[in-house]
Amino acid sequence: MSGSPPLLKRADSPLVARLSPSPNFGVRRGGRGIDMIVLHYTGCPSAEAACLWMCAPESQVSAHYLVDEDGEIVQLVAEEMRAWHAGAAFWAGEEDVNSCSIGIEIQNAGHGACEAGGLPPYPEAQMRAVVALVKDIVRRHGIRPERVVGHSDVAPMRKADPGEHFPWRMLADAGLALPVPQVVLPEMKVLDGHGVRALQEALARIGYGVPVSGEACEQTAAVVRAFQRRFMPQRVDGVAEARVLAMAQAVCNMLDERASSA
| Residues with active-site annotation | 105
CB 179 within 8 A of CB 258: no
- Distance in angstroms (rounded) separating the CA atoms of residues 218 and 62: 29
CB 130 within 8 A of CB 136: no
Could you tell me if residue 110 is left (phi over 0), alpha (psi between -120 and 50 degrees) or otherwise beta? left
Q: What's CA 20's distance to the chain center, in Å? A: 22
Residue 75: closest CA among 9, 139, 11: 11
Q: Letter for the amino acid at 46?
A: S
Rounding to the nearest 10 degrees, give the CA dihedral for residues 189, 191, 195, 196.
140
DSSP-based three-state secondary structure for 168 = helix
DSSP line for 173-195: HTTSSPPPP--------B--HHH
CB 115 within 8 A of CB 4: no
